[in-house]
Each structure stands twice: as C-alpha cells, then as structure tokens.
Amino acid sequence: MKLPRMSIRYKIISLFVLAVALPVLLISIILISISRRSIRDSIFIQQQETVARVADRINSQLDRHKQLLSIYRDIGQLPGKQQVAAAREILGQSDALSEISLLDASGREQWKYDRTGPGKELIDRSRRGEYKFALSGRSYISSVYLSAQRSPYIILSVPLQGRSGALVAKLNLSQMWQWISEIKVGETGQAFVVDQKGNLIAHPEPERVWAHSNFSDLPVVRDFIERRQPSAERWSEYRDERGYKVVALYQYLPKLNWAVVTQIPAKEVYAPIRKMHENIIFWTIFFTGAFLYIGYQFVQRITNPLSLLKSGAEQISQGKLDIKLDIHTGDEIEDLAKNFEKMATALKELETLREDLIRMIIHDLKSPLSGIMGSLDYLESGMLGDITDDQKKIISLAKKSSESLLVMIQNLLDVAKMEEGKLELRKEKMDISAVIRERKYQFDTLVKNEGKTLSVDVEAGLPPIEAEQHLIERILNNLLTNAVNHTSTGGAITIGARHLGRFLEVRVADNGVGIPPEYRDKIFEKFVQVERKQAHLRTGAGLGLTFCKMVVETHGGHIRVESELNKGSAFIFTLPL
Amino acid sequence: MKKILVIDDERPLTELLQHMLEGNGFRVEVAHNGLEGLGKLKNFQPDLIVLDVSMPQMDGWQFLRTLRASPVTKGIKVIMCTEKNLIKEIELADELGAQAYILKPFDTERVLRKIEEIL
C-alpha cells in the first residue's frame, strides 16, 4: 500500500499523539470512572453514617425518656404526695417532657402535671394506645400530635408495676427538631424525619411540620414506605420542592416506624467528583500538552537537521557545493551531515577538476590552433610570395577545418561558461536583419558550391534588439551549418525573421531529412545518444544546439524545432525586444 | 629598426610571429614564458611586447605587473593575446596598461596591422 506523501514531522507527531495522548486519555477516562465510583461510594457511606447517627440520636433520646419513665414505674405504689414530687422530678429530668400523667387500671387519668402545675381536666385514655400497650405490659410511643400551641409532641407510656395502669408522658418534639436542625448534613444538606405514612415529623423548618406536610411523594420517602428496609440501598436523586437536584437517603427507626432522611443538594454531593473530574481533565491536558510539547521539540530536533540536510541537498543539486551544514545533534544525523559535507566537498573538488580540465583543454587546443590558423593566414596573405590558385584552395580547405574546430572549442567553452553561470552578456543594440543578410553573404559561396539555395525572408522594419551580437551570429552560424549539412544537393534553406508580440522570431528552415520525433527535444541536450543510423543528427558542431539553446535562454528567449521526416526541419528561436 | 619581444608558450606560434614580423622589417626576440621574457629584457630593449596570457611558470599578468613596476621597462608597449573572451580580462589588460587585447586565434595580418598602428 502506498502511503500518501506526508512529511516526517507529521509522521512522528502523529506517532507521538497515538503513543502518548491516546493512552493518557484512556487512563484518565478509566481513572475518572473508577474514582467517580469510589467517591460516590464514600459519599454514600458518609451520608449513611450521618443518617444513622441522627437515627441513633433519636433512638437514644426516646430510649432515655422511656428509661426515665421506667425508673418511675413504681410511682403508683407511692403515697399521693410523693407521686406529685416524683412527677415534678420527672419533669425536672428533661426539658422535652411537657406533661406527666398517671393512668389507673381502667385507663383514666389519676392526675397529670405539666410545667405550670396540676392539670385540671382528667381524661379517659382507656381507648388509647398508651393504655392498651400498658395493659399488655409494653411501653408505647404514639404518632405525632400537635398541641393547641401547634407544637408537635408524642405520647410515651410505660406500664406501671403490677399492670395497674401506665405512666404517660408528653414528649415535646421541638427538642428533637432542635437536634435535627443541629445535624449538619454536608455543607447545605438537611435531615428530616417522616413516619411510615410519609407525614413529616421533624424538620429544621418547624412550619413544615405544623403544616402537616406529607412527603410521601418524594422518591426517597416512597422508597422507605414501599420497601421499609433498615436503610436505603442506594441514593435517590430528584428535584426538591425548590427545584434543586438533591440526593437523599433514609434510615429506618424500627421502634418508631419512622425514617430519618438526609437530603443534600446534588451539587454538593458531586462537588468532589466534579473537582476530581476537573483535576483529571486538567492534568490530562497538562500532561498531554507537556508530552506533545516535548514531542514537538524532539521532532524539531530530528526534522530541523533533516530540513537543513534537505536544503543542503537542494543547494548541491543547484550546483552550490561549498555548503556548511550547522548540525550538531550528536547522532546519526550529524554523521550524515558530516558525510554530506564531505560528499559536497568531494563533488566540489571534482567540479573544480572538471572546470580546470575544460580550461586546460580549451587553452591547449586553442594555442596550437592559433599556430595553425596563423600560419595558414600568413601563407594565404602572400607575404611569403605568390601562391597558385590550387595552393590557395588547399589552404582554404585547411582553414575551413581549423575554423570548424575553433567553433567547436568555442561552443564547448561557452557551454561550460554558461553552465557555470559565468557568461557575461555584452548586450548592445543590434539589427537582426543586417546580421541575417551578412550571414547570407558569408554562407552563399558554401551553399552554392554544394548546389543548394539560401533565401532570406525578413519582415521589413524590424525593431532592433538588445543582444550580444557575436553570440547571435554564432547561433545563426550553427543553425546554418546544420542546415547545410542535413540537406542533400538541391536543398533549400531559408532564414527568416518576424515580429511576434514582445519577441522577435528567427527561423532557419531546410528541406532536409528531418528529425525523428523522439529526438526533437534531445538534440538540444549536451551529449545526445543517437543510434548509428541517425548519426547524422550529431551535428558537426558538437555542442552546437546546446550552445544555441543556452544562448537563447540566457537572452530570455526560447528555441524549438519543428520537423517532419524527409520534409525538413525548422529551428525557431525567439529573442525579447 | 623597431624591436619586438614575442612571449608565448606555443612554440610554432612564436616562430610564425617571428618569421612574419622579421619579414616585415622588425627585429624580433622570442621567449616561451614570463620568466624567460624577463631574462631577455636584460640585454634586449623592445619597443613592443606581444604577450600571451596563460603560460607556465610566469603568466602574462604577472609579467605585465613586473614590467610596469620597473621604471626602465615601464614604457614598453604591450599587446595581450588570450584565448579567453572575458570582460574581466579586457578590463584587467586595460588597467595594467596594455595597449591592445587580441583574441586567439588571430590572423597574422590583423596582428601586423595592430602592431604597426601602435608603433
């Protein structure tokens, strides 16, 4: 499978994200769910303890009062005056007791005392629970009643010794309310007590009890009523009467058939969980961020030298060989960079060697050529005496060969110079039509001798161009030489020029053998491989077309060839005006 | 009779120049590098030197600098010959006080005309 192209930087970063960020995320999710559960459990236990504590306290208070009454179970056997004293004693024992009465064996009140003194209206309690329980020898706890002052109370009773009646006490629940309101359930939670029907018995806000509120609609109370478990197995979550989400638990008080309920705003219960979430999220982000930052730095450490290497390689490919790579990573990349520099240095040495070689070849070829050409000139000039026409002809043959050798050397030199970017153009205003006419004049004899024709087709009034004249002349010489070489007897060569937009277009065409399509671009390359039967494509001037292409392009123009096999070729180049 | 010193490491070329120039009425001495040229100058005071640029041991530029540094030889006229067609070289030749700069390969008649022009 082929991967889409992606820089190493992104590959490593993605790897980092996969290797670090994902596990961290996964761990934090697991952590959140585990700790959420354990925090919930611990809050549940805590709340359960609170509710149990309240229940204990209520139980113990009830027990205390029952025991208090039990101590006086023999009150019926005391003489009348001592009974009154005992009743006062009982009232003195607990602020919560508001009334003490003694029932006789028939269930009628014998006497009663409240905090103001003896009660007047003695009533018959024989149908009441306090009496009925006493008859069977059991103590009794009543439901909640409201007094005329709208304060809630319950009736406690213990059977008298010998089952001769009961000692009955009114236990004011305001005290219990006090305990309940004192119980701190979390920061803002509250506890209250309901009976088995859901009636509110105690609440930090007494008005609610006075109003005979029934809480059986609350899920937690309903749970208690329906299931009557010793304690809630799980949290009830619901919205309270003010619309806040709350979490509630109950604890059953079996002696009373009541339940203590604690109700805490969900916000408070979940605060530790939320805080933990925030913590985990914060640390997850922090660690992921830190890891990614470290990872990014790490990636930079790898990729920065890599991009340095890359730009170094680009520079080398552009021929800039004296590169110095500033890479000190102390690892394989540094070694690579060192080798890279070594390679560049070696290449540079090689390049210098090549340049030296070219310079040497040019010098060593040109100097002897100077000797040959000078000697031929000298002979031809007649300064050494008259020469015959035959001799002149031979001399001119030798001169022609020397000249083509010179052109080749010159092309080689210029191509080398242009490759090094050292060719400085000496541009001047030049008239292309004049140059073309001059070429015709120069080539006419040669063309005629070979039985070919050379015609000129130059548009009238061509503007002058800025170019280095002798280079343009050499382009034309190269192209014309090629044309002459590639046409057979009877060949027709045309050289034309015309105005084309912001360019001048020069065209050298022949009706020769043409160039096969596969060679039409290659012929401009430096050393083109040509099959033997196409050997004629390798022009006599060697680097002639390479030279032409380079000169034209250095001038800002373009060269191309149009050709049809056995019909001819046309070399067309443009030069900017 | 005007005297010419030809300094070039290409022996056939020096011989050709010597032959041609002597044929045209000059007295010609030949050297094949700058050092040899300086040696020649001790007992030969030329009016003009035809000086090649690239030569072994001492090249044309070094020779020309040495020439211009001495008051005795300072006034000798110089034609530089080089195969390199570089603006830099032409400028350098000018700067060092060469009277002419000829591109190789040259034709003999042009060299002769140049020499006659300068002398």
Three-state secondary structure of B21-48: HHHCCCEEEEECCHHHHHHHHCCCCCCE
Residue B70, domain member (yes or no): yes
Could you tell me the end-to-end alpha-carbon distance of chain A, in angstroms, rounded to an integer? 53
Band of pLDDT at residue B48, cut at 50, 70 and 90 = very high
Query: What is the pLDDT averaged over residues A61-88?
Result: 84
B109 touches chain A (CB under 8 A): yes
Asked whether the predicted pLDDT for residue A541 surpasses 50, the reply is no
Query: Given a cut of 80, is residue B22 above it in pLDDT?
Result: yes
**Helix ranges (DSSP H) in A432-468:** 432-449
What is residue A163's predicted lDDT score, i.e. its pLDDT?
66
Chain A residue numbers with beta carbons less than 8 Å from the beta carbon of B86 are 424
Question: Does any domain span residue B36?
Answer: yes
Q: Do A367 and B108 touch (CB under 8 A)?
A: no
- Identity of residue B100: A
Is A374's CB within 8 Å of B83's CB? no
Taking CB atoms within 8 Å and a gap of at least 24, the contacts of B20-23 are: B20/A374, B20/A378, B20/A383, B20/B108, B20/B111, B20/B112, B21/B112, B21/B115, B23/A383, B23/A384
Alpha-carbon span A176 to A172, nearest angstrom: 8
Can you tell me the distance from the alpha carbon of B76 to that of B67, in angstroms, rounded to the nearest whole number?
Answer: 8
Closest CA in chain A for residue B102: A370
**Single-letter amino acid code for the residue at A508:** V
**Residue B118 domain-assigned (yes or no):** no
Phi, psi for A289 (deg, rounded to 5)? -60, -45
The answer to whether the CB atoms of A362 and B24 lie below 8 A apart is: no
A interface test, pick of B9, B107, B113 with most A CB neighbours within 10 Å: B107
Find out whether A260 and A54 touch, Cβ atoms under 8 Å: yes
A412 vs B contacts (CB less than 8 Å): none
Say which of B12, B23, B109 has its CB closest to residue A377.
B109
Rounded to a whole number, what is the distance in angstroms from the first to the last CA of chain B?
A: 11
| Cα separation, B76 vs A40, whole angstroms | 111
The mean pLDDT value for A102-113 works out to 86
Range of lowest pLDDT (A90-94, A187-191, A573-577, B12-16): A187-191
Do A409 and A474 contact (CB within 8 A), yes or no?
A: no
Average pLDDT, chain B: 87
- Is B87 in Cβ contact with A426 (below 8 Å)? yes
Taking the C-alpha atoms of residue A191 and residue A107, their distance in angstroms, rounded to an integer, is 37
- pLDDT averaged over every residue in chain A: 82
Q: Is B9 in contact with B62 (CB distance < 8 Å)?
A: no
Residue contact B13–A370, C-beta within 8 A:
yes
CB contact under 8 A, A377 and B54: no
Burial tier of B112 (Cβ tally within 10 Å: 0-12, 13-18, 19+): buried
Q: Is residue B27 part of a domain?
A: yes
Does residue A545 have a pLDDT over 80?
A: yes
% of chain A exceeding 70 in pLDDT: 95
pLDDT of residue A535: 53
What's the token pair of residue A465? 């161009």
In the Cβ-directed half-sphere of A151, how many Cα atoms lie within 13 Å?
13
- Specify burial of residue A370 (Cβ count, 10 A radius: 0-12, 13-18, 19+): buried
Is position B37 within any domain? yes
- Residue A2: the pLDDT is 57
User: How many CB pairs lie under 8 A apart between chains A and B?
Assistant: 62
Inter-chain touch A384–B23, beta carbons under 8 Å: yes
Q: What is the DSSP string of A482-536?
A: HHHHTS-TT-EEEEEEEEETTEEEEEEEE-SS---GGGTTGGGSSS----GGGGG
Average pLDDT over residues B84-112: 81
Contact B10 A377 (CB under 8 A): no
Task: Pick the more confident residue, A425 or B3.
Answer: B3
When CB atoms are compared, the residue of B12, B23, B86 closest to A383 is B23
Q: Say if B103 is an interface residue toward chain A (CB within 8 Å).
A: no
The whole-angstrom separation of Cα B85 and Cα A362 is 12
Inter-chain residue contact B83 with A373, CB threshold 8 Å: no
Q: Which residue of B has its CA nearest to A425?
A: B87
C-alpha B88/C-alpha A28 separation (Å) is 74
Domain span including residue B72: 3-103
Lowest-confidence pick of A219-223, A255-259, A349-353: A255-259
Residue type present at position A549: K
> Residue A540 pLDDT > 50, yes or no?
no
Task: Determine whether the interchain pair B105/A369 forms a contact, defined as Cβ–Cβ distance below 8 Å.
Answer: yes
pLDDT confidence of residue A111: 87
- In this structure, are residues B16 and A378 in contact, taking their beta carbons and an 8 Å threshold? yes
Q: Which residue has the higher pLDDT, A252 or A541?
A: A252
Q: At what angle do helices A332-381 and A266-317 cross, to 10 degrees?
A: 30
Do A454 and A443 form a contact (C-beta atoms < 8 A)? yes
Is the Cβ pair A375, B54 closer than 8 Å?
Answer: no
Tell me which DSSP letter residue A21 carries: I
Is B24 at the interface with chain A, CB within 8 A? yes
Look at residue A509 in the predicted model and tell me its pLDDT.
92
Instruction: Work out the number of other CB atoms within 10 angstroms of the CB of residue A517.
Output: 10
CA angle, A557 then A560 then A565, to 5°: 165
Q: Does B22 touch chain A (CB under 8 A)?
A: no
What single-letter DSSP state applies at residue A10?
H
What radius of gyration, in Å, describes the C-alpha atoms of chain A?
A: 59
Structure-derived torsion over alpha carbons of residues A124, A126, A130, A132, reported in degrees to the nearest 10: 180
Residue to test with chain B: of A360, A367, A373, A399, most B Cβ within 10 A: A367
Task: Please write the tens of the pLDDT for every residue from A260-306.
Answer: 888 888 888 778 788 888 888 888 888 888 888 888 888 887 788 88
Q: Residue A4 — φ and ψ, nearest 5°? A: -65, 150
A121-130, A188-197, A533-542, A556-565: range with highest mean pLDDT: A556-565
Is the pLDDT assigned to residue A571 strictly greater than 90?
A: yes
| A532 pLDDT higher than 60 | no
Interface test with A, best of B108, B111, B112 (most A CBs within 10 A): B108
Q: Give the bridge partners for A118, in sequence order.
A: A113
How far off is chain A from B88, nearest CA to CA, in Å? 10
The CA distance from B1 to the nearest CA of chain A, in Å, is: 19
CATH of the domain at B42: 3.40.50.2300
Peptide bond into A517 cis (omega under 30): no
pLDDT at residue A508 in the model: 93
Are A455 and A439 within 8 A, CB to CB? no
CB atoms within 10 A of CB A210: 14
Six token digits for residue A256: 């009373």
B32 touches B14 (CB < 8 A): yes
Q: Does residue B79 carry a pLDDT above 90?
A: yes
Q: Quick one: pLDDT at residue A305?
A: 81
Disruptive mutation site among B22, B51, B83, B88 for chain A (greatest number of A CBs within 10 Å) = B83
Tell me the Ramachandran region of residue A212: left when phi exceeds 0, alpha when psi lies from -120 to 50, beta otherwise: left
A466-498 pLDDT per residue, tens: 898 888 998 998 899 888 888 888 889 999 999
- Of all residues in chain A, the percent with pLDDT exceeding 90 is 5
- B75 domain-assigned: yes
Indicate yes or no: CB of B105 within 8 angstroms of CB of A383. Answer: no
Determine, yes or no, domain membership for B117. no
Contacts of A171 by beta carbon, 8 Å cutoff, 6+ apart? A62, A65, A96, A97, A98, A153, A154, A155, A156
Taking the C-alpha atoms of residue A323 and residue A346, their distance in angstroms, rounded to an integer, is 12
CA dihedral A531, A535, A538, A542 (to 10 degrees): 100
Stretch 33-72 of chain B: residues touching chain A, C-beta under 8 Å:
52, 54
* pLDDT value of position B76: 92
Residue with tokens 């000078």: A374
pLDDT of A251 reads 83
Q: How many domains does chain B have?
A: 1
- According to the per-residue pLDDT averaged within each range, which of A33-47, A333-347, B3-17 is highest? B3-17
- B20 touches A: beta carbon within 8 Å: yes
Residue B116 lies in a domain: no
- Residues in chain B with CB shorter than 8 Å from the CB of A363 are 54, 83
Supply the pLDDT for residue A63.
Answer: 85
